Amino acid sequence: MSSLGLLSTRGVSLSFGGVLAADAIDFDLMEGERLAVVGQNGAGKTTFINICTGFIKPTSGQVFFNGADITALSPRAVTRLGVGRSFQLPQVFTEHTVRECLMLAASAVKQRRGFLLPLSQAVDANEVDETLELLQLAARAHDLAGSLPEGQRKLLDVAMALVLRPKLMIMDEPTSGVSTDEKHGLMAVLMRALDERQVTSIFVEHDIDIVRRYATRLCAWIAGRIAADGLPEAVLRDPIVIKNVIGE
Amino acid sequence: MRLRLLVVVLAVAVLALGLFFPWVKTPVLVALANGLAVSGVIVLIRAGQVSFGNAMFACLAGYGTAFMAREWQLDALLLIALSCVLAALAGAIIGFFIVRYRGIFFGMLNLALSMVLFSVLGKFGAVTGGTDGLRFDRPTLAFVHFEREGFETALLVLALVLSIGAGWVVQRYFASVSGQALAAIKTNETRLEYLGISAKRVFWGGYVLAATLCGLGGSLFALTQGLVTPEMGYWVRSGELVFVAILGGSGHALGAFIGAFVYEFMKLYAAALLTGAWQLVMGLVLIVMVFVAPKGVFGMIERHLRSRSKA
Amino acid sequence: MEVRRSAANQLVSIDCRCRFPLHCHFKTDSIAPMNASLFALALMDGVSYAALLFLVALGLTLIFGVMRILNIAHGSLYACGGYFAATLGLVITKFGLPPMLAFPALFVAALLMGVFLGTVLEFALLRRILDKDPILQLLVTFAAFMVLEDLQRMIWGVQPVFVSDVVTQMGTLSVAGVTYTRYQLLVLPAVAVLAFVGLRWFLAGTALGRQVTAVTHHREVATAMGVNTGRVTWLTLTVGGALGALGGALASPTTSFTPGIGAEMMVLSFAVVATGGLGQIGGAAIAALMIGLSRSFAVYLMPEIEVLVPYLIMVGVLLIRPEGLFSAAAARRI
């Protein structure tokens, strides 16, 4: 077996009901990369993420993280190993305040179960405040997560994952649902935070400008396979990619 | 701070009431027992789940108390403690399976299990006393043998202490790591899992706590009445617990007790004045509350205190 | 209490005035070995009991399917239907009206009660809680149940109400060496089958029925497509309520009605609905048969667990399949 990267897959396939959502994927992600994933809807991008984070089990093949086989692990276990995830529709605790959301996330790090231990005493307040600053959410710390506008909800979604100090952050369409003039600002904040924490990242994107600006590597997915993989500019000039992914 | 003052004032008021009007002791004891059970129900409500079967833990503990009193003539304190252990164990075992379910399925399974218990208690009369239930003699309390009056007073003091203690535990739990995670189950379980927290385990902890509180209430109720019947575990009883939770306000343990007192005394009032049509009155009150004050009496108090502090 | 014995002095049936037709219908001092005629008896009683359960459960599952609300007051509809049917029966006797009217009177009672209570419930309560927290929705129907319990007591008192003229009118017949009442053997299952077929036809074959189905699947989309959801909900509550009341009305000639019977039927019919799958008509039918038959056979083989059986079945099914025997996807195949 060739040497494994931070995240690697070998022969990962997923078929359901005759559809091949993933077709024998061999893939390696190195530490420090900022990988963008593009592809039409249904090409297999989210499926791949779900497989890598343990949400779905592949029909065949293996997934490795940091050299360990994580194919059969649950999302909970995969998270604990150091993979953070944010969602297309931000998943936050709508009836908790922003700060409380982060505190809950922070409490998961040390696995302190405390039946009577107040949450505020179980977590490192500095850690929480630092992350709030990093994601520019400090002003909204005491607002209910459910009251946040979409862009800040996305940031909170990422913040909660970031508090866990992951080595790899997987973001599913981080700028979708956000207005065009806010997109770049949002992405800039996200990327700066990830750089600060030295987190390797994968992000699924539809906006090609964002891809050009922030990615160090680009994978283009077509019908369950990685059709092109390499430097963003090179991939974006690939005729197959232009035809099947961008040219819409 | 204001809240703690309120609790102390209320407790003292209740005690004084019981001492000056001896006939009030029984309904007060019943209200406190109910309040304890309801505080268990509000733990589950915090996770966004309703159980239409939690009376089964109160019933189980009550029968446990009755059995142990009859067989071993234990002291009341021991009876309560052991019955709580029984309820906690039942909660732990049942909880192990039931925490996989949510929403209406969770509610239904709890209901079904409580009806199994209810039916068993009613049918196997030789052991359980059947539909007439089990009577037992007044036990000692703190190893002192009391007469009727004295026992009730002593039990009242004990009940108040237990209630304040339980309320404190519940509020502290709500603010704790586990309690906050429990509340997150209501809004986003997926996120919890993706933080590395096991929603099932957290829910299980809450379920066991709820079962124990319901058991505490059931044991106290049994000691107050000296009698346990299968009705303690009937589905209507479980529904009443949820009713009281919403009536009093499911956001705070104090709400559980306020609700229980309002419920009990409205029952008395209606029984006295409307020849027992208390269900009619309570039903109408609940309907009005759902539309006008869905956060219950405690919610109204909170709103009032908050607007006062802003003024 | 009337005891019937066969020519060979075998115990055939005991007719006593108690809560459920099955309760002591064949209570023997010793557990009789299961022979052919006892088997036939258990089977027939199970089917007639299942028919009643099905009617009530049908109403409950229909209401849940359309409104996504579990109507805890449904058992009260059963009770009120039964009480009112008994009252009509007494009125017929008292005013010397032709006894033939007793049977149709049952249906009239159910219809009137269903429409009346269904309309009141829908208009006063259910329509206004559609967008509220599910816990609050449940509590509102629970409150309605409490109110109706007291109203029943105030109107009909606490003494058992039992008007069995219809059953005696129809006489008995002999099947497989067992004497059985025509009412329980023929009428009840026939009504249940008619209700099943009728409702299925209505939902699939009529425009209004298809609108109801649309609302069941997706309320918002149906509204967007111009379906008058207010009318649909009213119709659902009245039809569902009438079915519940019909169960009660048809049970009234064989069962004595006392306070608390509504609560009992509520939790039983819920067991049927939950086992069959919420909102599933076919599921309700199968679950009703399962529970009805298991219970009647339990009375023979293991009388102590008779009352337990419905809930054991419910727990058993829910632990394996929380959605019940049929879930939305499966039902479309039927």
Q: How does the average pLDDT of chain C come out, rounded?
A: 84
CA distance B199 to chain A (A): 10
Which residue from A79, A114, A115 is facing B194, i.e. has the nearest CB?
A: A79
Residue C4 lies in a domain: no
Q: Look at chain C and report how many structural domains it folds into.
A: 1
Task: Report pLDDT for B1.
Answer: 65
Tell which wins on pLDDT, A3 or C278. Answer: C278
Q: What is the pLDDT of residues C213-257, one digit of tens each?
A: 888 888 778 888 888 888 888 899 999 999 999 999 999 999 899
Kindly state whether residue C9 falls inside one of the protein's structural domains. Answer: no
- Please give the residue range of the domain that contains residue C126: 36-331
Considering the domain boundaries, does residue C153 fall inside one?
A: yes
Q: Place B104 in a pLDDT band, splitting at 50, 70 and 90.
A: confident
Which pLDDT score, from 0 to 100, does residue C24 have? 42
Chain B environment of C306 (Cβ under 8 Å) = 123
Asked if B190 reaches chain A (Cβ–Cβ under 8 Å), the answer is yes
Q: What is the pLDDT of residue B19?
A: 83
Which range scores top for mean pLDDT: A46-55, A76-85, A179-188, B85-94?
B85-94
| pLDDT bucket at C20, cuts 50 / 70 / 90 | very low
Residues 6+ apart with CB under 8 A from A191: A34, A201, A214
Residue A7 and residue A201 in contact, taking contact as beta carbons nearer than 8 Å:
no
Burial of C86 (0-12, 13-18, 19+ CB in 10 A): buried
- Which of A80, A92, A119 lies at the smallest CB-CB distance from B196? A80
Per residue in B130-150, pLDDT tens?
888 899 988 888 888 888 888
The predicted pLDDT at position B261 comes to 93
- C-alpha span between A245 and A38 (Å, rounded): 7
Mutate to test the interface with B, among C142, C265, C304, C320 (most CBs of B within 10 A): C142
Q: What confidence tier does C14 reach under pLDDT thresholds 50, 70, 90?
A: very low
CATH number at residue C163: 1.10.3470
B274 interfaces chain C, CB cutoff of 8 Å: no
Distance of CA B234 to the CA centre of its chain: 14
Structure tokens at B142: 């703190």
Domain-located, residue C25: no
B170, B191, B194: best to mutate for the A interface, most A CBs within 10 A: B194
Report chain A residues whose CB lies below 8 A from the CB of B194: 53, 75-76, 79, 85, 91, 161
Cα–Cα distance between C125 and C135 in angstroms, integer? 14
Q: Does the residue C6 lie in any domain?
A: no
Closest C-alpha to C274, from A22, B183, B235: B235
Query: What does the DSSP 8-state code read for residue A27?
Result: E
CA distance B308 to B41: 30
CB atoms within 10 A of CB C224: 9
Contact across the interface for B196 and A113, Cβ inside 8 Å: no
d(CA C115, CA C124): 14
Residue C5, in any domain of the structure: no
Cβ atoms of B103 and B186 closer than 8 Å = no
C residues 111-130 near B, CB within 8 Å?
Answer: 125, 128-129
How far is the CA of B311 from the CAs of B17, B270, C175, in angstroms? 33, 38, 82
Nearest CB neighbour to B246, from listed C134, C139, C307: C139
Measured CA distances, B244 to B240, B259, C131, C139 (Å): 6, 5, 22, 10
Q: What is the pTM of this model?
A: 0.88
Listed by start position, the domains of chain B span: 2-310
- Report the residue of chain A nearest B178, measured CA to CA: A115
Window 159-178 of A: residues touching B by CB (8 A cutoff) are: 160-161, 164
The band of B116, judged by pLDDT with boundaries at 50, 70 and 90, is very high
Q: Mind listing the pLDDT tens digit for each residue in C108-123?
A: 999 999 999 999 998 8
Cβ neighbours of B173 in A, within 8 Å = 115-116
Q: Say if C3 falls within a structural domain.
A: no
Task: Give the pLDDT band of residue C16 (cuts 50, 70, 90).
Answer: very low
- Neighbouring CB atoms inside 10 A of A111's CB total 10
Query: What is the C-alpha to C-alpha distance for residues C45 and A92, in angstroms, rounded to an integer?
Result: 55
